[in-house]
Amino acid sequence: MGSIVSENPHLVCIPFPAQGHVNPFMQMAKLLHARGFFITFVYTEFNHSRLLRSKGPEAVKNSPGFRFETIPDGVPPSNPDATQSVTELLYYTQKHSVAPLRDLIKRLNATEGIPPVGCIISDGIMCFSIKVARELKIPEVQFWTASTCGLMAYLQFGDLVQKGIYPLKDESLLTNGYMKTPLEWIPGMKHMRLKDMPSFVRSTDPKDIAFNRWLEEAQDNLKSDAIVINTFEDFESEVLEALASMFPNIYSIGPLSLQVKSLPKNIDSDAKMPSLWKENTECLAWLDKQKPDSTVYINFGSIAMMTEDNLKEFAWGLANSGHPFLYACTTWGIGLEINSVVKREEVCRLVKEMMEEETGKIMRKKAKEWKRKADEAVGEGGSACKDFNHLVMELQRLSFNGR
């Protein structure tokens, strides 16, 4: 059996294998490691290989109390450097990753010099880990890397079916005003409309894999021992309160991108930054030469993509606005397509509205105010700082005492 190190409870962290999930998971893992937890960080074999190519072996090098493992995702082979389909990952991990995770936990518990696994922390859409945790009698915590509003929205998918709102009767409902249907019953989320819900509701197929997997994953979150969310109280107070009435053991510890800045540089090392792409930092020298508040930053994330025509329209619209811009993008030709038709005139108008007109100035002022509140939340005595301290105590309790 693995040797017991009582002062270092062992957490196994299992992020969903997409960049926007892995980043906050790594930030949380570093923060917990700094508080004395032994961390095993689990990548899929696919992403582990991508990291080796993009960052080199240092990105997955074990260090004292922080180690890396892999499990297969079950997804059929594809372009080794492409972003995998979210829908395929949701489908295949749920079907194929249970046994590999079970075997990994058993192997860790049998490894000399490693504390026995005290708790599993898995992504809010990797709920197959709950089954493994229950089988092995290990506590399990869900980490929701996005907003509380997102989780609450997914929790309504069952109601959308029961109320006959989903699936859509036909595709004409996407453009005839039906998407403005109010959804007033959603707790803590006033003025919601169908168009504001996650895009998976825009399907005419009652057996749509993505919709049904998100429905099941969201409900499974409520079966865990605790839910951790990458948000802060002031930002989502109403929906956090509503969610707490459904599931009381919630910890809002974000924004983790700010929390992690409190760590010493030797702990928050760039070596463990989980970038799945080779980074190009040449643009930063150009950015440093621009005037403050002058530059438009464009980033659609690592999953979305556009048609070539839409890309051209965006580019011309940005150029015609007359404002300098920095467009962060990954390799084209992978991921999901944005279906909306883009017109350069509309892009240009919106950029000018944001950068020059009073409405844009008000929005930018609000954004800076939220940044200030986020800094306060993660600062000493802030709501996220307090919740993180409470989370540390809860993870210690779960690790040593079980459920």
- Give 84's contacts (C-beta < 8 A, 6+ positions apart): 17, 18, 46, 73, 75, 78
- Give 298's contacts (C-beta < 8 A, 6+ positions apart): 314, 318, 325, 326, 327, 328
Is the previous residue joined to 167 through a cis bond, with omega within 30 degrees of 0? yes
Q: Are 235 and 117 in contact (CB under 8 A)?
A: no
Q: Catalytic residue at 196? A: no
Catalytic residue, from 73, 123, 208, 220: name it: 123
* Closest by Cα among 38, 54, 58 to 269: 58
Q: Catalytic residue at 123? A: yes
HSE, side-chain direction, 13 A CA sphere, residue 116: 14
Residues 394, 397, 402, 403, CA torsion sign: negative
Structure tokens at 370: 């939220």
Q: Are 86 and 210 in contact (CB under 8 A)?
A: yes
Q: Are 97 and 112 in contact (CB under 8 A)?
A: no
* Burial call 66-98: b when 16+ CB within 10 Å, e when fewer: bbbbbbebbbeeeeeeebbbbbbbbbbbbeebb
Residues 251, 255, 261, 266, CA torsion sign: positive
Catalytic residues: 21, 123
